[in-house]
Chains A and B, each alone.
Chain A
Amino acid sequence: MAETTTRDTILAAIRQGKPDLHPLPETIGFAPTITPENLVEAFMAMVKTNGGQAIRVTSLSEAHAFLVQEYDLTLPILSHVPGLDISNFTPAAELRLLDDLHLVVLEGKVGVAENAAIWLDEAAIGIRALPFISLNLSLVLSEKNLVGNMHEAYRLIDTHTGFGTFIAGPSKTADIEQSLVIGAHGSKTLTVFLLP
């Protein structure tokens, strides 16, 4: 009962004190300044700026070959990308066991060239903690799904799922004397594979 009262008091105070109706701008957002032919280049440059690496591949098997070369496949690895079958780890109900994960591979839905943010939705992630708890993260993304800026991205993504996130690089911090350190709590590396 107490909470209902608080709610009503707050809402009443807002009604009493709020300014007159102020209209929303007629159009929201701006056209991208990155031209379609420069999307890939701009995106890849931003991945690097953000501390990750971007690799252009022609097929999933090329990405697969790269991962085999780069990572120790005897360590716990989990891929949720259909066609990229390098999983050797079955997650149990106990989320804490995910702490062992060496590498997680997921599929990005949309990539934004102006900041290299990659959208992952709940279906692609599966267990929400995966991209954050794994030591290394790899994302697979089609060049067809690159857009120029965030306004375009929001037109394409579904914000009505349970969870979704933009990831732009490995985890980082500059809290100690402003020195940039890659690998705070989340993944220490990010590798993005760009498919045609």
Chain B
Amino acid sequence: MDTASPRHAKAAEAFLRDEENADWHNETLWFVRSKRDRAAQSLPEWEDLREQASQIKLHSLSKLDDYLIQLEENARQNGVIVHWAANADEHNRIVLDIMRKHKATKIVKSKSMLTEECHLNPYLIKEGIEVIDTDLGERIIQLRNEPPSHIVMPAIHLKKRHIGDLFHLHLGTDAGADDPQYLTEAARIHLRQKFLLADVAITGVNFAIAETGGFVVCTNEGNADLGAHLAKVHIACMGIEKVIPKAEHLGVFLRLLARSATGQATTTYSSHFRKPAPGQEMHLVLVDNGRTRQLASPDFRNSLKCIRCGACMNTCPVYRRSGGHSYHTAVAGPIGSILAPNIDMKEYADLPFASTLCGSCTNVCPVKIDIHQQLYKWRQVLGEAGAVEPTKKIGMTGMDVLFSHPRLYRFAGRAGRWFMQKFPSLANKSSLNPWAIHRDMPKPPAQSFRDWYAQQNQKDNG
């Protein structure tokens, strides 16, 4: 296997060149993270709630086949047409077939990371179908021909002046106008027309319920509902890991989702779809696309518990300073860096390294995924598979040697302190030490903790 190119690092460098924008990105996401903290602290049972969510998800994964069959049976009985797709191609073809059957040419979509993962839009557009993303953030980046940079806030990398210019070009808003209220109103009018004329609506699925055969879709804008209720055909696409046993379990997840995502107590609309409305048609597409492979791996299956709240991204010091696009995958940030190498190990070998392994992601995850530990495990798997670029590998091998030889480790520490004291400018020189780009190395302590501890011991004993 060839070694992966460090695409994330290069793209992050480009992102950081616009310093003002990069700072704004960092601070805004930290603000969202702080709102999440306040929302979490408002519930005394927060930690127990996370534990329950994690247990329910683990249980669901341990009976995933049973629950999918139960979901399928109940949905069929409710008049929903159920499809299974092994991969992205199959998923896209199923959607196209439904469009063709209805001679449909216009589709409105509400944000669905699964359809992003499957690259549904370019596929349908090539077949001559008009695809309109209706979540405001998604529509913005669709007009810019970009992928989303965040799973909950797709256009978080853009400032309002960018959007003002974009809408001036495409929606005819006044030149230079950048008031969010005004721009949102323009988008509302533009998208209303699309909702009213669409033949088919596609939505994602936040949770599917085996017991009822129904599924829940959560939005703040109401776009999923407007699309699904006005079109003759509603296609809901879900990863197979989204199924939970019973409706009562929704209480646990709905309390966690919005609080973790944006710090809101709940999303504005949490809609429970179960049967098609009279005269309408409802489809449910169950997609694997690598999920069964992830399930079969004890090290990584926990990542399938993810409810796509985005909290791990908002808190990640690397994501906040590198921007979602630097991850070159549909789902960016810490969780995306676990999911992507499962789909293509070579293409995404750089992503598990786009992390400080500080563990902040793991601490905020509402379903208690051991995110940073899985990233660490991926590094080892990728190293063994030879998919790691040489400079990182040398560093890692060096660290392995150091950590497994305590005497050498102690010497290296002393040598490092000596080196940094004598030649601070050399240690800070980024061509020799990539870590020093955008960072000043800390002043080295005069004494190591180990030496200090030994001295204290001597003092105490003496």
Q: Which of A127, A174, A185, A187 is close to B223, meaning CB atoms less than 8 Å apart?
A: A185
CA A171 to CA B225, docked complex, whole Å? 11
Q: Which residues from chain B contact A169 at a C-beta distance below 8 Å? A: 268
A20 adjacent to chain B (CB < 8 Å):
yes
A84 to chain B, nearest CB (A): 23
CA A149 to CA B191, docked complex, whole Å? 34
**In the complex with contacts A6-B90, A166-B270, A133-B64 CB distance below 8 A:** no
Contact A165 B271, beta carbon cutoff 8 Å: yes
CA A91 to CA B339, docked complex, whole Å? 47
Can you list, as one digit per residue, whether each of B13-56 has a CB less than 8 Å from chain A (1) or not (0)? Answer: 00000000000000010011000000000011100110010011
B245 adjacent to chain A (CB < 8 Å):
yes
Give A126-176 interface residues, CB cut-off 8 Å to B.
Answer: 127-129, 132-133, 149-151, 153-155, 159-176
Q: Which residues from chain B contact A15 at a C-beta distance below 8 Å? A: 65
B318 adjacent to chain A (CB < 8 Å):
no
Contact A175 B288, beta carbon cutoff 8 Å: no
Contact B226 A186, beta carbon cutoff 8 Å: yes
B139 to chain A, nearest CB (A): 9
Contact A11 B65, beta carbon cutoff 8 Å: yes
Q: Which residues from chain A contact B264 at a C-beta distance below 8 Å? A: 50
CA A13 to CA B240, docked complex, whole Å? 12
Q: Interface with B: A24-32, A55-63, A69-77, which one? A: A24-32
Q: Which of A11, A50, A171, A185 is close to B69, meaning CB atoms less than 8 Å apart?
A: A11
CA A167 to CA B221, docked complex, whole Å? 11
Q: Which residues from chain A contact B295 at a C-beta distance below 8 Å? A: 13-14, 17-19
Main SS at interface, chain A: loop
Contact B229 A173, beta carbon cutoff 8 Å: no
**In the complex with contacts A10-B86, A19-B62, A128-B277, A154-B269 CB distance below 8 A:** no
B248 adjacent to chain A (CB < 8 Å):
yes
Q: How many residues of A contact B (CB 8 A)?
A: 72
B63 to chain A, nearest CB (A): 7
Give A20-46 interface residues, CB cut-off 8 Å to B.
Answer: 20-25, 28-30, 33, 46
**In the complex with contacts A117-B270, A164-B272, A176-B163, A159-B212 CB distance below 8 A:** yes
B399 adjacent to chain A (CB < 8 Å):
no
Contact B270 A171, beta carbon cutoff 8 Å: no
Contact B221 A173, beta carbon cutoff 8 Å: yes
Q: Which residues from chain A contact B135 at a C-beta distance below 8 Å? A: 175
Q: Which of A163, A164, A173 is close to B136, meaning CB atoms less than 8 Å apart?
A: A173
Closest to B187 in A: A184
Q: Interface with A: B113-121, B152-160, B375-383, B430-438, which one? A: B152-160
A88 adjacent to chain B (CB < 8 Å):
no
CA A9 to CA B195, docked complex, whole Å? 37
Q: Which residues from chain B contact A7 at a C-beta distance below 8 Å? A: 84
Contact A160 B212, beta carbon cutoff 8 Å: yes
B220 adjacent to chain A (CB < 8 Å):
yes
B275 adjacent to chain A (CB < 8 Å):
yes
Give B361-378 interface residues, CB cut-off 8 Å to A.
Answer: none
> A-B pairs with the 6 shortest C-beta distances?
A17-B296, A186-B222, A115-B265, A175-B137, A13-B292, A184-B221
23 inter-chain pairs at a CB distance below 8 angstroms, sorted by A residue, are A11-B68, A13-B293, A13-B296, A16-B296, A18-B64, A19-B62, A21-B63, A50-B264, A99-B192, A128-B229, A128-B277, A129-B225, A154-B251, A159-B212, A159-B214, A159-B274, A164-B272, A168-B265, A171-B220, A173-B136, A176-B140, A179-B181, A186-B221
